[in-house]
Amino acid sequence: MNRCRTSTWALGAAVLLAIAASGCGLGGPPSDAVMIAHLQRERVAFDTLVRMMTEDRIVGNLVVDGMPGKSPERTVRREKYRVLLRRTGCRPAYRDEAGRVTFDVPYPTSGGGVAGTGFKGYVYAPTPPAPAPVRTSLDQGGLRRFEDTFRHVDGCWYLARMRV
């Protein structure tokens, strides 16, 4: 084998190994404590996004570039959304008809393609999430696949963990 093929093969093997390892439990969700500290640190950004999405009557995924209007005011508003989303570190943001806003933080779960992807994120819920259980910690094990669970932080804010 020539050196070029050997290098290409070694690089390909290293990439495949890295991809496999990332889906085999080496990643995982951030802890509740880390997420709560981030929510507290960026609370103004999260609250402003919720307020703006409500004012703009956004229902569904927040698609900043797809928002209507080309006026200078709408351009400024779209840029404000981008800045706030960067500050929260969350994408996407989703608002349902009841006013519940979800900010997802995707992460690989154990088992790669078999277990899929989990989502842990922040939820602004004007009414408590139901019928999903509200727990004292989302760091605990025992979550079943396809089970959505929530942890109350304060006011209308919850941490959420969705397993798919």
Select from 84, 112, 135, 134 the least CA-distant residue to 28.
112
Q: What is the pLDDT of residue 131?
A: 65
CA 41, 44, 49, 51 torsion: positive or negative? positive
Q: What is the pLDDT of residue 25?
A: 38
Q: What is the pLDDT of residue 140?
A: 65
Q: What is the pLDDT of residue 145?
A: 53
Give ∠ CA 162-163-164 in degrees, rounded to 5. 120
Bridge partners, 69 (sequence order): none
Q: What is the pLDDT of residue 69?
A: 82
Q: What is the pLDDT of residue 58?
A: 93
H or E segment to which residue 148 belongs: strand 148-154
HSE of 20, CA atoms in CB hemisphere, 13 A? 6
Cα(68)–Cα(74) distance, rounded to whole angstroms?
Answer: 8
Q: What is the pLDDT of residue 11?
A: 47
Q: What is the pLDDT of residue 114?
A: 46
Residue ranges for the chain with pLDDT beneath 50: 10-26, 111-114
Cis peptide before 126 (omega within 30 of 0): no
